[in-house]
Chain A
């Protein structure tokens, strides 16, 4: 499968998000022997979601470590190892379980550089699936973008497609600050075209920079993770009606790329934010607050609208679950409401 762009023959590959993360970790493990992966089931089992497939076989017990079931335990150990000079990748089987370890993530990892006056860095990556899955109910479906995005000292990224996933995990591992990588279980098996640059071992997606996935003139739609795909679907539907949406993939939650969002709003004069998490104190709430504080406020022709997950613990019944997360129709509805059409 290939594409011709101008006069350049650029071969394209289909790579799933899972394989992209796997490639990214593999390349960084190879590049720097201080990097290692620890978590539950990551070694012989190839990872609960098979994201670390083949890594234990290639790197062995010293680099890929299975831990007992104690998030508090292995997150704390990873932080200690990072303080002592190693570069751990700490996997949470889902970010719901990270709540067991949140003291380690916030108090031991995020704050230490500041509290030590720049003497003690913690070059650690916390990664794992975040947000809603399918049929896993309330205690396994929470989105932690707002929780971790709240904390100074942490960087928080949220990849959508394979290119995001590979580039961001590599940037996160190379970053000397603690980085939280919020993956998405439902995206793991989704294939995307992988441009040739992404196949390079030094391909990095910079942390703190959003990407405009689709140019548009009528409205700015900002999202992160899986909902980005829904926004693009909504944009395709609306395009047939003559509405051109500019879809922004945030890629990074913290530090947020407000410049890209502001520039877009100043062009389109309308804003809709889309996220899987709950509305109160969420990512969309932060974007709206910052829009008001910045130059783009005077360019708004209508109040910004947030599309979020329903403000309930995730239901188990399928019909309720389906209606508790933003669907394409909800995004279209919000866009039309903002544009008053």
Chain B
């Protein structure tokens, strides 16, 4: 009798655990230790009277019908957005109600970036810099996410597992900082993305994995990059809370990153944000995307769904911006970039001694000998070298 009651109690508990697992609920405990996650259950209540699964590897019910889980690619994970394409707030309760100065800062950051991109792309064509990658069409993902972080948070532009390691260190130090790691939908195919996700989850690290899904990895379209439902769908496979957002909606990006940051630090767990967007420019100055996509496609995104335009509509509708300010700001931002560029061009190149330093913390003797040898050479033959262009 007592045994039967015990068996029923076990059954109920495992049912609740199963439901909790489905919702990917994790209750935070002391020091971020999650006690309720099924895979951390050390004490399994075994009962042979129960016909329930006892496997350590998964918390689930039995099923007696042969059925393969269909990957959901026709109707995938929905895309969170706050503004429509005309910059109008759709659901007022999702409006972050940011003050005017902050929204203007968003707008000016995105447009200044756009201006800088144009000038630097041109300068590469003129041979003044060697290489450049533009951000056309993706300004919303950068600015929206960056605005949601603290000044002490760590940003990794790639290096997925190093980001997890840094997040682990931040957790160890109780540093109240999050690590954000940006990568494209192409880089998500790398083996180290898999390792990074898995480790972030098992080590319970305060990290935001921010995937910029812009449709292309150089010339490889997403249809050739993956067959599943994008990158967001991979998160739950690792036990990671995941969301897909409209990357061209700077408020949606902001809201999602802000909430992810708050919870990542409070609960010591990773988050995955897949920001859907479109790469309007070429992959880099070494690429000519007309070779693999139509001009019509690019124009659609440029004209119909651009993060800068959408925010501008929002600003105009609130009376926080107008054509005059737009003209003035375009002039001012261009001037800012040109002045900075000219200032940088005038700077001398680094001293040749820096070729030898910082290989190690202490310079090894054979490098020091080579450095001294170069110094002697320049003493004798320095007039034949353009030393005036280099730092003394």
Contact = CB atoms under 8 A, between A and B. Distances in A.
**Does A pair with B?**
yes
B360 A153 contact: yes
A117 to B, nearest CB: 6
Contact of B360 (A72, A74, A113, A116): A113
Nearest to B160: A76
B195 A73 contact: yes
A260 interface: no
Contact of A77 (B168, B359, B366): B168
Given A74-B199, A76-B161, A76-B162, A81 B169 contact: yes
Interface string A47-80: 0000000000000001001011010111111111
Interface string B316-340: 0000000000000000000000000
B48 interface: no
A77 B162 contact: yes
A108 interface: yes
B198 interface: yes
A177 B360 CA distance: 6
For chain B, the bracket of interface size reads 20 to 34
Contacts of B192: 72-73, 76
Contacts of B357: 118
Contact of A155 (B163, B168, B196, B360): B360
Contacts of B162: 76-77, 79-80, 83, 104, 108
Interface string B159-177: 1111111111110110000
Given A76-B162, A76-B164, A77-B161, A118 B170 contact: no
A80 B163 contact: yes
Contact of A79 (B165, B202, B359, B364): B165
A73 B156 CA distance: 16
Nearest to B357: A118
Contacts of A295: none
Contact of B165 (A70, A81, A113, A176): A81
Nearest to A108: B162
Contacts of A177: 360-361
Contacts of B195: 68, 70, 72-74, 76
Contacts of A68: 195, 198-199, 202
Nearest to B169: A84
B203 interface: yes
Contacts of A303: none
B361 A113 contact: yes
A189 interface: no
B196 A76 contact: yes
A255 interface: yes
A250 to B, nearest CB: 16
A83 B165 contact: yes
A135 interface: no
Nearest to A155: B360
A116 B358 CA distance: 8
A84 B354 contact: no
Interface in B137-191: 154, 156, 159-170, 172-173, 191
A129 B161 CA distance: 24
A114 interface: yes
A121 interface: yes
A111 to B, nearest CB: 9
A82 interface: yes
A80 B359 contact: no
A3 B303 CA distance: 87
A67 to B, nearest CB: 7
B199 A82 contact: no
A220 to B, nearest CB: 20
B129 to A, nearest CB: 18
A29 B261 CA distance: 32
Nearest to A86: B169
Contacts of A65: 203
Contacts of B154: 84
Interface string A144-172: 00000000110100000000000000000
A73 B196 contact: yes
A85 interface: yes
A85 B168 contact: no
A330 B154 CA distance: 55
A67 B154 CA distance: 24
A176 B358 CA distance: 12
B152 to A, nearest CB: 12
A83 B164 CA distance: 11
B48 to A, nearest CB: 27
A118 to B, nearest CB: 4
Interface string B191-216: 11011101100110000000000000
6 contacts: A70-B194, A73-B199, A77-B165, A84-B169, A88-B165, A113-B359
Interface of B: 154, 156, 159-170, 172-173, 191-192, 194-196, 198-199, 202-203, 354, 357-361, 364-366
Given A72-B191, A84-B169, A255-B365, 8 more contacts: A73-B192, A76-B165, A80-B163, A80-B166, A81-B165, A82-B165, A113-B361, A114-B358
Closest 7 CB pairs of A and B: A80-B165, A76-B161, A73-B195, A80-B162, A84-B169, A77-B165, A81-B165
